[in-house]
Every structure is written in structure tokens, then in C-alpha cells.
Amino acid sequence: MPITLKSPNEIRQMREVGRIVVATLRALREVAAPGVTTLELDRIAYETVSRLGGQPAFLGYRGFPGSICASINEEVVHGIPSATRILREGDIVSLDFGAVARGLYADSAITVGVGAINLDAQRLLDVTQEALRQGINRVRVGGRLTDIGAAIEDYVLVQGFSVVREYVGHGIGRAMHEEPQIPNYGPPGKGPVLRPGMVLAIEPMVNLGTWQTKVCPDKWTVVTADGSLSAHFEHTVAVSSGGPQVLTLPED
């Protein structure tokens, strides 16, 4: 499939969808506390996005049953919201959320600590968030797609962590997942040339231990193969001649 370029007007509209995503993730961050279930977080996300004029992009996508992916501790991505998954003091939870409005999508993810978390968990969050920033900084017209993943991997490895290889970022726009796929690893200088109008969902997933993962019996939830903690951060980013435009960046 070809990479579709978005017009300036489409990018402006995607920024509006991005604001809905940001507001929803902020609402989730504020209530992610000990004793809260991931199903309750899912309800809050659905109510928030609906109130703001969007729809949850994940709900029903390929049969996924939730509005958010809520992945706790060793869960990497695609955690299914559940009334039996209760947040506990010291957990970390990755909250991945996408929205669609007027036929355009935006996607973002954060990982937050539940109450007080230990130093290893906090450092994992800090490194993963910085890895995302390092990748975004490589979004330059005339650069190559793999420059992004190379910057992410280089930073993460120096910090002593590992980058998940089985799951990658993606193009986004009129569909939730478009070309190109965006690995978070590999050598720079490969793949398509970055051009104005490309919009990319960049999403490093970083593990405290091994990079290998496995899929749970529910056929959705992905966990680290060694049971180590995992963190996930994501932004929707437009390529422009003036540098990367982060469409899911909180205004504050």
C-alpha cells in the first residue's frame, strides 16, 4: 500500500482529534489510582471522547472489546479493560488511546505510575518517554524512516533497557493503521524518504529485561517473555518543512 500524504487542512483537523485524545488521556491519568479497575478507566475514556465529539478508534477494531488498551506492569500492549484488573500501589499502567472524528484519526499512549512506584519503574518510564522524544527529533524532511527507530534504539540501549521488536509504529490519517510501519530499532538511513504531509504514530515500547514478548491466551494482551516491566509512550507526528508537528502534544 502507498504512503498517503495529508493536506494542511487534514493535518489541522487531525490536530483537533489529537486534542480529544490528549484530554481523554489526561482524564485517565487523573483517576489512575489504587483500587480503580481498568474497566472503569475504559468507561471514563468512552464518556470523555463522546462528550468531546469523537469516537473511540479501538472499540470494535478487529474485534477489540475496549475503548482503551490498558496494560499493567509486564503487559506491553493491547491489555483488555476488565472489571477484575484492579490497579494497585506500585503498578505502572500503559494507557493507549485513539480517537476518530470526521473521518480522521489520532493516536497516543502514556505510561503512568499508580501511587508510589520504585526507582526502576520510574527510570523505565523516564527512559521510554525520552526515547520517544529522541525519535520525534529525527522526523525531518529528506530524512529516512529508519532514522526514527535508530535514534530510539540507540538511546534505549545506552540506558541498559531493550526495545520491543515485534510491534511497531505506523502511519495514520484516514485509517487507524496506514503505511509505513515504523520499527523502533535498526540502522538509520533506510526506508522511505520523509516528506511533508506524512503523518506517523511513533510509539516506542521499552522493557526492563529482554525485548522478547508473547501473546496471552486472550489473543490480545502482549506481555514480556521474562515477566519484566514494560512501558509505552506514543505521539501522532506530522512531517513538515518546519520540523515535526506533534499533533497529540498537551498544550501545557
Tens of pLDDT along the chain (252 residues) come to 799 999 999 999 999 999 999 999 999 999 999 999 999 999 999 999 999 999 999 999 999 999 999 999 999 999 999 999 999 999 999 999 999 999 999 999 999 999 999 999 999 999 999 999 999 999 999 999 999 999 999 999 999 999 999 999 999 999 999 999 999 999 999 999 999 999 999 999 999 999 999 999 999 999 999 999 999 999 999 999 999 999 999 875
| 245's grid cell | 508537528
* Count: domains in the chain: 1
Residue 3 lies in a domain: no
Sheet holding 162-163, edge to edge: 162-163, 205-207, 230-232
* Contact in structure between 114 and 93 (CB atoms under 8 Å): yes
pTM for this prediction: 0.97
Whether residue 251 is contained in a domain is answered as: no
Establish if 94 belongs to a structural domain: yes
Domain that holds residue 235: 8-246
CATH code of 62's domain: 3.90.230.10
Q: Is residue 228 part of a domain?
A: yes
**Residue 160, phi then psi, degrees to nearest 5:** 90, 10
Bond from prior residue into 183 cis (ω within 30 degrees of 0): no
